[in-house]
């Protein structure tokens, strides 16, 4: 049996500003951007070269969804971005004004720092120990 998580829905206020953040600040790629209606699009983004999982940028369609934009995980770190070179990416993100809310730490599992996306969702940037 084979299963995998293909996409994670991330609520956003606006497709284009979310695409700009993920592609310009984090260097993700747009895998798909298909218009489904006048107000709905199917937008997938992922780190360059990622094969297993992508983010589905989902524009909030009602008040309940809009209320949790930026806080889908109740204030916990929500997403985990692994890298093969922590310091390269950390410096690059800092230069691009990505907001880090926890400074880099060397922990038993690797080097990690916490940053926010454009809506306030918390991400771990991690270079795991080999």
For residue 99, the model assigns a pLDDT of 98
Q: Report yes or no: 9 and 58 within 8 Å, Cβ to Cβ.
A: yes
Angle at 45 between CA 40 and CA 46, to 5 degrees: 160
- Over range 113-126, report the average pLDDT: 98
- Alpha-carbon gap, residue 17 to 45, rounded angstroms: 13
Per-residue pLDDT of 43-94, as tens digits, reads 999 999 998 899 999 999 999 999 999 999 999 999 999 999 999 999 999 9
Tens digits of residue pLDDT in 3-25: 999 999 999 999 999 999 999 99
- The pLDDT, as a whole number, for residue 130 is 84
Domains of the chain: 1-69 (3.10.180.10), 71-130 (3.10.180.10)
Span 27-45, pLDDT tens digits = 999 999 999 999 999 999 9
* Cβ density class 60-80: b for 16+ within 10 Å, e for less: eeeeeeeeebbebeeeeebee
Q: Any residues with CB less than 8 A from the CB of 102 and at least 6 apart, and which?
A: 113, 114
- Residues 58 and 61: their CA atoms lie apart, in Å, by 8
Position 104 pLDDT exceeds 90: yes
What three-state secondary structure class fits 21?
helix
Six token digits for residue 45:
């983004």
The per-residue pLDDT for 107 is 97
């Amino acid at each position: 049996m084979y299963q995998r998580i293909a996409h994670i829905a991330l609520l956003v206020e606006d497709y284009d500003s979310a695409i700009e953040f993920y592609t310009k600040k984090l260097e993700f790629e747009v895998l798909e951007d298909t218009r489904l209606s006048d107000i709905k699009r199917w937008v997938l983004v992922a780190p360059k070269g990622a094969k297993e999982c992508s983010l589905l940028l989902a524009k909030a369609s009602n008040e309940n969804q809009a209320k949790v934009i930026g806080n889908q995980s109740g204030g916990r770190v929500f997403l985990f971005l692994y890298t093969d070179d922590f310091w390269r990416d950390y410096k690059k993100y800092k230069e691009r004004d990505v907001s880090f809310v926890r400074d880099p730490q060397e922990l038993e599992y690797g080097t990690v720092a916490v940053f926010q996306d454009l809506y306030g969702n918390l991400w771990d940037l991690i270079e795991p120990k080999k």
